[in-house]
Structure 1
Amino acid sequence: MNDAINHTPNVRMILRKKPVFKVIVLSLVLFAAFIGLFDHVSRQHVKVIESQRLDQMKQLVEIARNAIEPIAAGCRSGDISREAGIAEVRNLVRRMTFTESHGDNYVFMSAYDGTMLVQPFEPDKEMTNQWDLKDSHGVYIIRELVKTAENKPEGGFVRYFYMPPGSGAPQEKISFVMGVQELECYIGVGRYMEDLRKEQADFRWKTFILETMLVLLLLALCLMAVSEIVVKNRLLVKEVHIRQDSEKELRALKNYLGDIINSMPSVLIGVDGKGKVTQWNQHAEKVTGVKEEEAAGRDLKKVYPADSALWEKISDSIHNREIVQHRKKITRGNNLFEYEDFTIYPLISEGMEGAVIRVDNVTSKVQMEELVVQSEKMLSVGGLAAGMAHEINNPLAGMMQMAEVMSTRLTGKDVPANRQAAERAGTTMEAIHQFMEDRGIPKMIETIQSSGVRAAKIVENMLSFARKGSAQTTHEDLAELLDSTLELALTDYDLKKKHDFRSIKIVKEYEPGIPPVPCDRPQIQQVLLNVLQNAAYAMQAASGSGKQPKIILRLKRQGGMACVEIQDNGPGMEETVCKRIFEPFFTTKPTGIGTGLGLSVSYFIVTEAHQGRMEVSSHPGLGARFTIRLPLSVM
Structure 2
Amino acid sequence: MTAPMPKNESLTDQVSLPEQLPDAVGESVWIEVIQRMDTIYADLVHHQVELEEKNTALEQTYRQLQQTHEELKNTQQQLVQAEKMASLGRLVAGVAHELNNPISFILGNTHALAGYNRRLQTFFSGLEKLADPRVEELRRHSRIDRLLNDLDPLVEGSMEGAQRVGDIVDSLLRFTNPQPRQIAQFDICRLAHTATQWVLRAARNKPAVHFDMPESLNFYGYEGPVHQILVNLVHNAVDASENVDAPALWLTLQRQPQQLLISVRDNGAGIDPEHLNTIFDPFFTTKQSGKGTGLGLYISYLLATEQCGGQLRADNHIDGGAVFELTLPLNQQPLNQQPLNQQSLNRQGGECDRQQ
- Quick one: which amino acid aligns to residue 524 of structure 1? V
Distance 1:395 1:388 in 2: 10
Q: How many residues align?
A: 277
Distance 1:445 1:452 in 2: 11
Q: Determine the structure 1 residue equivalent to 2:86.
A: 372
* Cα distance change, pair 626–379 in 1 and its aligned pair in 2 (3 A): same
Structure 1 unpaired stretches of 5+: 1-204, 226-281, 290-337, 339-360, 423-427, 492-499
CA contact (8 A) 2:88 2:282 kept: no
Distance 1:396 1:390 in 2: 10
* Cα distance change, pair 583–462 in 1 and its aligned pair in 2 (3 A): closer
Of structures 1 and 2, the larger Rg is shown by: 1
- Quick one: which amino acid aligns to residue 389 of structure 1? I
Deviations along 1:446-497, one digit per CA (max 9) or x if unpaired, are: 2112210111011111112221444222223334533554466569xxxxxx
The answer to whether the aligner puts 1:475 opposite 2:189 as a matched pair is no
The answer to whether the aligner puts 1:461 opposite 2:164 as a matched pair is yes
CA contact (8 A) 2:189 2:214 kept: no
Matches within 5 A, 1:200-349: 208=6, 211-213=9-11, 219-221=35-37
- Quick one: which amino acid aligns to residue 407 of structure 1? Q
CA contact (8 A) 1:575 1:619 kept: no
Deviations along 1:76-127, one digit per CA (max 9) or x if unpaired, are: xxxxxxxxxxxxxxxxxxxxxxxxxxxxxxxxxxxxxxxxxxxxxxxxxxxx
The answer to whether the aligner puts 1:403 opposite 2:105 as a matched pair is no
Q: Determine the structure 2 residue equivalent to 1:323.
A: none
- Quick one: which amino acid aligns to residue 111 of structure 2? A
Distance 1:385 1:572 in 2: 33
Higher RCO (C-alpha 8 Å, min separation 6): 2
Deviations along 1:498-538, one digit per CA (max 9) or x if unpaired, are: xx843342525264542332222332234224423443554
* Cα distance change, pair 485–462 in 1 and its aligned pair in 2 (3 A): farther
User: Normalising to structure 1: TM-score of the pair?
Assistant: 0.35
CA contact (8 A) 1:465 1:522 kept: no
The answer to whether the aligner puts 1:445 opposite 2:148 as a matched pair is yes
* Cα distance change, pair 210–530 in 1 and its aligned pair in 2 (3 A): farther
Distance 2:39 2:210 in 1: 90
Return the offset for 1:392.
0.6
Q: Determine the structure 2 residue equivalent to 1:120.
A: none
Which of residues 614, 618, 624 is equivalent to 2:316? 618
CA RMSD, aligned part only? 5.0
- Quick one: which amino acid aligns to residue 220 of structure 1? R
Matches within 5 A, 1:48-127: none
Q: Determine the structure 2 residue equivalent to 1:634.
A: 332
Distance 2:103 2:197 in 1: 15
Distance 1:408 1:364 in 2: 61
Which of residues 207, 212, 229 is equivalent to 1:505? 207
Aligned residue for 1:388, secondary structure, equals helix
Aligned residue for 2:204, secondary structure, equals helix
Distance 2:293 2:152 in 1: 39
CA contact (8 A) 2:107 2:163 kept: no
Return the offset for 1:618.
2.0
Q: Determine the structure 2 residue equivalent to 1:115.
A: none
* Cα distance change, pair 536–219 in 1 and its aligned pair in 2 (3 A): farther
* Cα distance change, pair 613–207 in 1 and its aligned pair in 2 (3 A): same
Distance 2:164 2:280 in 1: 28
Return the offset for 1:616.
4.5
CA contact (8 A) 1:563 1:628 kept: yes
Distance 1:508 1:524 in 2: 19
- Quick one: which amino acid aligns to residue 223 of structure 2? R
